[in-house]
Structure 1
Amino acid sequence: MNDYRLYLVTDDQQDLATLKHVVNEALQGGVTMVQVREKHGDVRAFIERAQMVKEILKGSGVPLIINDRVDVALAVDADGVHLGQDDMPVEIARQLIGANKILGLSIENEAQLAQADNLPIDYIGLSAIFATPTKTNTKKHWGIEGLQKALSTTSLPIVAIGGIHEGNIPELMATGVHGLALVSAICHAKDPKSATEYLLGLMD
């Protein structure tokens, strides 16, 4: 099974009850990986959110990934952590989480991509593919051509992130990308379960 296929990234603006609803529904809809994101710097709240999501995913085989914070990933014994370029160096993160946890890294330009295969990571989050309202400080938009180039450059699985919606999914899947990371298409859907099923259908 390809865990990266439909990769849900939670919306840190949503309250606990909404988060619980979204993750529950997305899980029933067939989401294959869940990353909990919390950008407000409140570690206690982050741990609470992560523990709740872990409880929902328990026994499902769907990995729980923590965004940015290795300490939170360790605190809740998550399945892995996803780091940005300004977070803890991946070499140190790998030492802390051990060999069996999943470690992802956001790659934002060609220079970073060229280094990726030498790093102790399991997958790349290629960011951002298209312009997106959830990430305003993006340095680069890879586009379809950039994604194709990245896929031919690295041997690591690539999860495409940024500006992904139903209109561009078939085109993205045609590149052979390993997974798509989505926030609003699932988190802001009226019916997250149906939205997840629909998105997976577009990926076939």
Structure 2
Amino acid sequence: MHTIFPTRGLYAITADKHNTPEELVASVRDALRGGAAVIQYRVKTPRDRLTEARLVLDACRAAGVPLIINDDVELAAEIGADGVHLGRDDGSLAAARARLGAGAILGVSCYDSVDRAIEAEREGASYVAFGRFFPSLSKPGAPLARLETLRAARLRLNLPIVAIGGITPANGGALLEAGAGLLAVIDAVFGADDPRIAAERFLPLFALETGRRSARGA
């Protein structure tokens, strides 16, 4: 059973800050209580990925929020996650779709390339992500993306658009105004002492942009 991917909201990506699977899932539950609309399980250090991912999936199922697995199609298939997020070197969309099924959510990193996003949409992506837009603790050397890319993507794509990279409540509004529907954050939620409060701080941005779009008739 797969959950529908939202078009707007906070996309919270786990960090490697926790020491145990129980600490991780507690932080995930806090982020969900704070209003996270999507959770991505992302891990870059040696861990019990299967145990952690299953615990995170249980928390997401209880909240009715989709769980996306970063990079790892096989892990997503093994636990029955809602989908997978693929970077440039993480395999093809076609292979992920064949492995995970027609209902799976497939996200694609498009960096600063609208052409890559258009190709991903043509190949069956469920959403696309652009970034990084600001200095990032998780990917400090990643190339920068531009607001103009979001503006062009909004005009040319029919998929949810995610922005990522150094996003905070202070700078995220400009990304939503330019065309992003979801803000993907790692440290701004899971690096905080209280992920619930950290997640809640993003919510007014979405309410403000919804009001702006209503006023524009968009």
Fold-level match, TM-score > 0.5?
A: yes
Q: After superposition, where does 1:1-204 map in structure 2 within 5 Å? A: 2=6, 4-15=8-19, 16-40=21-45, 42=46, 45-110=48-113, 111-138=115-142, 140-204=143-207
C-alpha displacement at 1:154, in angstroms?
A: 2.2
Structure 2 unaligned regions, length at least 5: 208-218
How many residues were matched structurally? Answer: 201
Normalised by the length of structure 2, the TM-score is 0.85
Distance 1:169 1:137 in 2: 20
Normalised TM-score (structure 1)? 0.90
- Aligned mates of 1:99, 1:4 — CA distance in 2: 22
* Structure 1 unaligned spans of 5+: none
Letter in 2 for 1:39: K
Identity of aligned residues (%): 36
RMSD: 1.8
Q: Once superposed, which parts of structure 1, at least 4 consecutive aligned residues long, lie more than 4 Å away?
A: none
Q: Deviations over 1:53-102 (max 9, x none)?
A: 01222232101110000100011000111111100111111111010010
